[in-house]
Structure 1
Amino acid sequence: MRDGPDIALIGSLIGDPARANMLTALMSGKALTASELAAEAGITAQTASSHLGKLANAGLVDQRKQGRHRYYVLSDDDVGQALESLMGLAAKKGHLRVRTGPNDPALRKARVCYDHLAGDLGVRIYDSLLSQSHVVPADDGSIRLTESGDAFLQSFGINPAQSSRSRRPQCRSCLDWSERRYHLAGSTGHAIYLRLLELGWAQRLEASRVIQFSSSSEKNLLAQFPILNG
């Protein structure tokens, strides 16, 4: 056996249709019970528990207890980013679900990706920050917040110093499955998403990953995050 990361193990865990459906459901960022995840996957609760045990043992999901209930969440944003990238790869190669629902255009417009904004408006925010050099690519392939970006976030009501104390990366790019371009993840992406909710510009649809913006709120977002031509 060759040395190195065991991508076959991770691939086999994600590749099972039932487990893939459960992991996709957890991309909403909400903690869900085994019964709720079983319903998402169309399997029995007993089978779901077996699948969740395998995912937990591999470090892809975490279990949290509250009273008599046990909830499951993605273990971290690395898992969420990997899933979003796989969705992008599947879409790029033409491997799409045959049936689309009424929420499909809304998901492409704006949705939650684990704990940050994705879709067309999520990509818009990332492109705006890049065009204004508020974030810039680093030598290691990551992205970093600049001084102007720090000042911009403070003017938008976000404390960058607080997010920088997190153990997760302050800024990272996440490949958007519907736009096939990048949106902003990391602690800064999360902080912007929370700020949009706090301002009332964005609203989360119940039992969905869809994030809704009114026409006026979308105009506010586009004005706040302009794209400057070079």
Structure 2
Amino acid sequence: MSPEKRKIFLDVFGSLKQRVLWKFENESVPNLPANVMMKSWLPQADILAHPNVKVFFGHGGTNGVIEAMHYGVPMLGMAIYSDQYHHVNQGKKAGYLLDLDYRKVTEEELRESLLELIENPKYRNNMKQASKVFRDRPLSAMDTAMYWINYVIEHQGAPHMVSAGVHLPWYQFYLLDIVALGLGCILLPILLLLLICRRRRAQKKTKQE
């Protein structure tokens, strides 16, 4: 993170009346606001479980979104790559998340987004509803995991549940046969067209001679 970008975050965090916990690799950042605690590691799930947490600011990774949803904490998402954009967009549609573009974020946008999430109860209410749906299951995540572990042990590896992909040849597993067929369908007409053009050119040259 560039010093300019870091200053934006610190200036905004320092202007809030709330306490800010920031997971950052460098704990010796100069001019750290009094209300900001910066640590290289923080117990994220335990913090999100605290009833006083107002907003979770993250990149929209799978684990972070699941934990925030589990504990009903609205999010400010700043996706960087891959599936993070999908999670952030889903959160926006559900109404429990606001997003920012890391490349273009300004101090005003960051402050307005944080205050909107903190002061407008609709985001927390939407996240509480999403949390209720997420938690409404016949077994907890741990009980579900234990059930299937015991199931596999009881049925000696549960071979009847093994994916058919395990038994496929490597070229079929990676769909190389499909890729080869597709390339053949594309390249064969091109090769035929080139041969026809070359033959006609040869015939035309023969007639001219």
- TM-score, length-normalised on structure 1? 0.23
Structure with the higher fraction of residues in strand conformation:
1
> Higher helix share goes to which structure?
2
Question: So what's the TM-score if we normalise by structure 2?
Answer: 0.25
Q: Which has the higher contact order (CA 8 A, sep 6+)?
A: 1
